[in-house]
Amino acid sequence: MKILFTGASSFTGMWFVKALSEAGHTITATFRKKQYVGMRGERVATTLDHCHPVWECSFGDEKFLEILSEGSFDLLCHHGADVENYRSRSFDYLKAAQNNTFNIQKVLQTGIQKILLTGSVFESDEGVGSTCAASAYGLSKSITSEIFRYWCHVENVQLGKFVIPNPYGPLEEDRFPTYLAKTWLEGKTAEVKTPEYIRDNIHVEPLAKGYALFAKEMAHTTKMFMKTNPSGERGTQGELTQKLSNEFSKRWGLPCPFTLCKQTDYFEPLKKVNTHPLDIPWDETKALDELATFYQTRYGN
């Protein structure tokens, strides 16, 4: 397929573009900026091996509409989303949803017939656990999803939704596994403050392969709406900590101690997990080798 992709500078976006390219698709990726630095800059550099970039272009703006109108794309993958300060309880969910869906009617009237929207397990009514959105960011994604579903129905455009759980892997942002790795490589004991949270942790490699397979499925269906909730390893954050401690310790030859604190913060739902186990061939041992090397190279002494 010929695909237009937003959000390729993100952690999962980089991996999704790579998986789509390796599946034989031709990718045009839009980037909001001309230059990126730090971890995001490294991801963009990797992404450029798998796509044709369009710089300084945001979803729904005039440049985006022009590209979409003239490109004869088979699929629009809208992976990009407003995420600045997304962990904050004061995250501006309405502004984020507005930006995520900017000029959506004009986008849908360019002739595009299929859209693949990335969702989050932290939205309301997604996955298993609380039916309420887990955060203000999750709320923004919930609103975004409803807006897309409504207007795709009105404009008779096929919509697919790929709901992401808790991914981890090389070139991720500072997420929980990164905190653990940094702490252990500094010779310290990791403190796990929310060990009781039940989450759906998944390595980004099988997740990306699942995304490419879902895109392929969309190409061969006439269903007007389809959705998948890919699941990895469902368990507590304490159990994930134990696993990563074991895996990294034997690869680094270092102790990876941790303390499971008495959890007092239950702001997020106790349980938020996806429902569709991924049946994707992949080499977990090799992937963990690469992840351990990535962390050690970046954060080791």
* Domain spans, the chain: 2-168+201-231, 176-200+233-299
* Radius of gyration from C-alpha coordinates of the chain: 19
CB 173 within 8 A of CB 12: no
What is the CATH code for 176-200+233-299? Answer: 3.90.25
Residue 158 DSSP class = E
* Strand 233-236 relative to strand 198-203, pairing: antiparallel
Give me the pLDDT at residue 40, please: 94
Could you tell me which of 105, 119, 104, 200 has the C-alpha nearest to residue 160? Answer: 119
CB 80 within 8 A of CB 102: no
pLDDT in tens, the chain (301 residues): 999 999 999 999 999 999 999 999 999 999 999 999 999 999 999 999 999 999 999 999 999 999 999 989 999 999 999 988 888 888 999 999 999 999 999 999 999 999 999 999 999 999 888 888 999 999 999 999 999 999 999 999 999 999 999 999 999 988 999 999 999 999 999 999 999 999 999 999 999 999 999 999 999 999 999 999 999 999 999 999 999 999 999 999 999 999 999 999 888 899 999 999 998 999 999 999 999 999 999 998 7
**What b-and-e string marks burial along 162-173, b requiring 16 or more CB atoms within 10 Å of the CB?**
bbbbbbbbbbbe
Give me the pLDDT at residue 86, please: 85
Give me the pLDDT at residue 85, please: 86
Say how far apart CA 84 and CA 94 lie, in whole Å. 13
Give me the pLDDT at residue 266, please: 87
Give me the pLDDT at residue 173, please: 84
Regarding the domain delimited by 2-168+201-231, which CATH topology (the fold level of the hierarchy) does it fall under?
Rossmann fold (3.40.50)
Q: Report phi then psi at 201, rounded to 5.
A: -85, 135
CB 100 within 8 A of CB 139: no
Residues composing the chain: 301
3-state SS class at 235: strand
Q: Report phi then psi at 44, rounded to 5.
A: -60, -45
Say how far apart CA 42 and CA 26 lie, in whole Å. 21
Give me the pLDDT at residue 116, please: 98
**Which residues have CB under 8 Å from 22's CB, separation 6+?**
50, 212
